[in-house]
Structure 1
Amino acid sequence: MVETEQAENGRGSGGVVVGRYEVGKLVGCGAFAKVYHGRDTGTGQSVAIKVVSKQRVNKGGLNGNVKREIAIMHRLRHPSIVRLYEVLATKSKIFFVMEFAKGRELFGKVSKGRFSEDLSRRYFQQLISAVGYCHSRGVYHRDLKPENLLLDEKLELKISDFGLSALTEQIRPDGLLHTLCGTPAYVAPEVLGKKGYEGAKIDVWSCGVILFVLNAGYLPFNDHNLMVMYRKIYKGEFRIPKWTSPDLRRLLTRLLDTNPHSRITIQEIIHDPWFKHGYDHRLSKLHLEDADMKLQIDGGARRMNAFDIISGSPGFNLSGLFPGYTRKYERVERFISCWTVERVVEKLEEIAVAENLTVAKKEACGMKIQGHKGHFAMVVDINQLTDELVMLQVRHRQQPPASSGRDIWSDTVRPFLLDIVYKPD
């Protein structure tokens, strides 16, 4: 661990964090973190390095937020979401190594003037695709605003900053979330009502405010007096600019509906006449399969060597970042077994049938199982360690079950895999 203090203090141009990433200039600063441009010294790739002070996080009681942000970013793979590559840590700091958005914030672009409807639609389509994907993964952003929407070198949109996000696991027995959070001008009226809210509904409201800003160049609800602004939000008092087309006017009205029960949904947005003009519907299918949930096909089960095992070890381990952390959101597990590949595959097929799942793909090196309307997916890659032993690398994803539902991974699949683990005499 070297040069970490330079990175934290903003004097670290040319410094190296954990021996691999060269730290460049400061590009952003918040209450608990600073973001630097960085470079992977091995590949030359540009990255963003978010440096979080453990002392500040502990003092603010935000350990849970940081752990949740890491867990959330680790489970999301979408072209319009900033990707988390790696998490590193020293005794005093945590480093998020992320995709670098060269184009900076969308806020900087729209602050220079309103967008055309075509450009507004292009960014709104990317935003809705990514937000819908998050919701399909049980993730609710809760702080969507132009400052948290970045642009890459091709000026394509990337959602960032999941520090205030919520997971389905946080929903209370009444089916609602209750934490007050968000940015005042973008917060939904039901959040202000303090009676609980649905994460998906408030994200849609924020998307509506963002679309309004892109088209108008100013906020729909704004006042120097915060309480006056909140009253406007609660009553839904706003005026749509006269240059707005009738189709966009209708969509904005449905997005900024103060009644969450009648507010437009993500699926309804995708089929809206204004929205779907030029929309690539393949973006709406991303919730069906993650880029990292594909079966690795290399012609069959092969013999692994020591380098394979070491380089394939889990790089995502939060145990060293926070005392007492349990790897609740880890999606990759490995098992050593003396069962044959054929026997493992046969048994997993039986489990799939029993759980009403589908074997989406089967190869000599493993299989992919999915089902429950895309809420569960599991990929099992099998490699030969020795003549007698195989290594099973299992990647799994599922939305948390309802309070009355079963957890397929924890209740069925994992117990089976643990049962077949090789136990030396």
Structure 2
Amino acid sequence: MEERSVLMERYVIGRQLGQGTFGKVYYARNLSSGQSVAIKMIDKEKILKVGLMEQIKREISIMRLVRHPNVLQLFEVMATKSKIYFALEYAKGGELFHKMARSKLNEESARKKIAKAEYRCPRHFSAELKELLYGILDPDPSTRMSISRIKRSAWYRKPIAISALNNETGKKNCTSEAPFSGPTICISSERNQEPPNLHNLNAFDIIFLSTGFDLSGLFGERYGRRESRFTSRKPAAAVLVKLKELAKALNLKVTKTDNGVLKLATTKE
């Protein structure tokens, strides 16, 4: 770990928990809260060489959205020029593989069970959802539900309130200067965090709520796109007033969508 016991002034790094093809996992403790976490360290150069950059981005995006007791929580993502660090919920029970290896089903029995698609849905699953899962997990490829059929299903077509989605995925984005290795980007996800509103938005909330939120900064990519990120000690209301003043001077106007996203638009002559 770069021969340091403290990562980015946030985590005290402890013993190594595991090692994979592209990185290592360490036990760590949050300096401010004392919480135990697992730090997953990924070597950027290795994933770039094998073309797994998009997969890592997808993993970050999905883990930020998922909130489930059976799925490890992603607390924070940090990056330097050469490494990406995931701060994950610490599962002290050990590797799942070893527990599965000791289960009552041997490999042959498990394979037969999977091939027959033998499973039971939780009681709280709706009839529409069960029907959809049965179609997706159909062991016969010829009758298995296609993507187009999934999109036509009653469960899939149910509308999702944007406000509820924002509440579930509330999060903050921050940038900092690492004590080593140059500029660092970190993205944190907080459980049970209230969705930001107009009265407590800060500059990072404004940026992060954009539907075009970009993880490319973690990988040092820009694709020719230029952008600026900033923080402010001023309250959100003062920042918005200043934005409107600047927009007016440029013959632009600031508009706010239903889900709280601010946009700049040209004024009609």
TM-score range, shorter chain: 0.5 to 0.7
- Which of structures 1 and 2 has the larger relative contact order (alpha carbons within 8 angstroms, sep 6+)? 2
**CA 1:260/1:104 → structure 2, altered by over 3 Å: closer, same or farther?**
farther
Q: Which of 106, 111, 126 in structure 2 is aligned with 1:220? A: 111
Aligned-partner residue type, residue 99 of structure 1: E
**CA 1:102/1:318 → structure 2, altered by over 3 Å: closer, same or farther?**
same
Q: Deviations over 1:210-258 (max 9, x none)?
A: xxx69x9942259xxxxxxxxxx9xx5x697xxx99xxxxx99974522
In the alignment, the residues of structure 2 paired with residue 313 and residue 98 of structure 1 have an alpha-carbon distance, to the nearest angstrom, of: 24
**CA 1:312/1:258 → structure 2, altered by over 3 Å: closer, same or farther?**
same
In the alignment, the residues of structure 2 paired with residue 260 and residue 47 of structure 1 have an alpha-carbon distance, to the nearest angstrom, of: 44
Give 1:16's aligned residue: 6
CA contact (8 A) 2:37 2:87 kept: yes
Q: How big is the shift at 1:90?
A: 2.4
Aligned-partner residue type, residue 56 of structure 1: K
- Is 1:89 aligned with 2:79? yes
In the alignment, the residues of structure 1 paired with residue 264 and residue 67 of structure 2 have an alpha-carbon distance, to the nearest angstrom, of: 28
Give 2:240's aligned residue: 336
TM-score by length of 1: 0.36
**CA 1:239/1:81 → structure 2, altered by over 3 Å: closer, same or farther?**
closer
- Is 1:321 aligned with 2:190? no
In the alignment, the residues of structure 2 paired with residue 87 and residue 66 of structure 1 have an alpha-carbon distance, to the nearest angstrom, of: 11
| Percent identity for Structure 1 against Structure 2 | 31
CA contact (8 A) 2:23 2:43 kept: yes
Q: Deviations over 1:292-325 (max 9, x none)?
A: 455457xx947x9xxx7699996x9745432324
- Is 1:291 aligned with 2:182? no
CA contact (8 A) 1:257 1:263 kept: no
Give 2:57's aligned residue: 67
TM-score by length of 2: 0.53
In the alignment, the residues of structure 2 paired with residue 71 and residue 324 of structure 1 have an alpha-carbon distance, to the nearest angstrom, of: 17
Q: Which of 17, 25, 48 in structure 2 is aligned with 1:58? A: 48
In the alignment, the residues of structure 2 paired with residue 53 and residue 104 of structure 1 have an alpha-carbon distance, to the nearest angstrom, of: 23
**CA 1:90/1:323 → structure 2, altered by over 3 Å: closer, same or farther?**
closer
Structure 1: which 5+ residue stretches go unaligned? Answer: 7-11, 115-212, 223-232, 246-250, 271-284, 341-346, 352-368, 370-377, 381-393, 395-412, 421-425
Matched ranges for 1:26-425 at <5 A: 26-114=16-104, 218-220=109-111, 255-259=137-141, 261-262=143-144, 289=165, 290-293=167-170, 294-296=194-196, 301=199, 318-325=215-222, 336-338=240-242, 348=256, 369=258, 378=259, 380=260, 394=261, 414-416=263-265
Q: How big is the shift at 1:50?
A: 0.6
CA contact (8 A) 1:40 1:46 kept: yes
Q: Deviations over 1:78-105 (max 9, x none)?
A: 4443222222222321111122222334
Q: Deviations over 1:245-301 (max 9, x none)?
A: 9xxxxx999745222644598xx9x9xxxxxxxxxxxxxx9x95343455457xx94
CA contact (8 A) 2:17 2:27 kept: yes
Report the aligned-residue RMSD: 5.1
Q: Deviations over 1:357-387 (max 9, x none)?
A: xxxxxxxxxxxx4xxxxxxxx2x3xxxxxxx
Task: Count the aligned residue pairs.
Answer: 200
Structure 1 SS opposite 2:110: coil
Structure 2: which 5+ residue stretches go unaligned? Answer: 121-130, 156-160, 171-193, 231-235, 246-254
Q: Deviations over 1:34-79 (max 9, x none)?
A: 1111111111111111101122122222222223322332343444
CA contact (8 A) 1:220 1:239 kept: no
Structure 2 SS opposite 1:258: coil
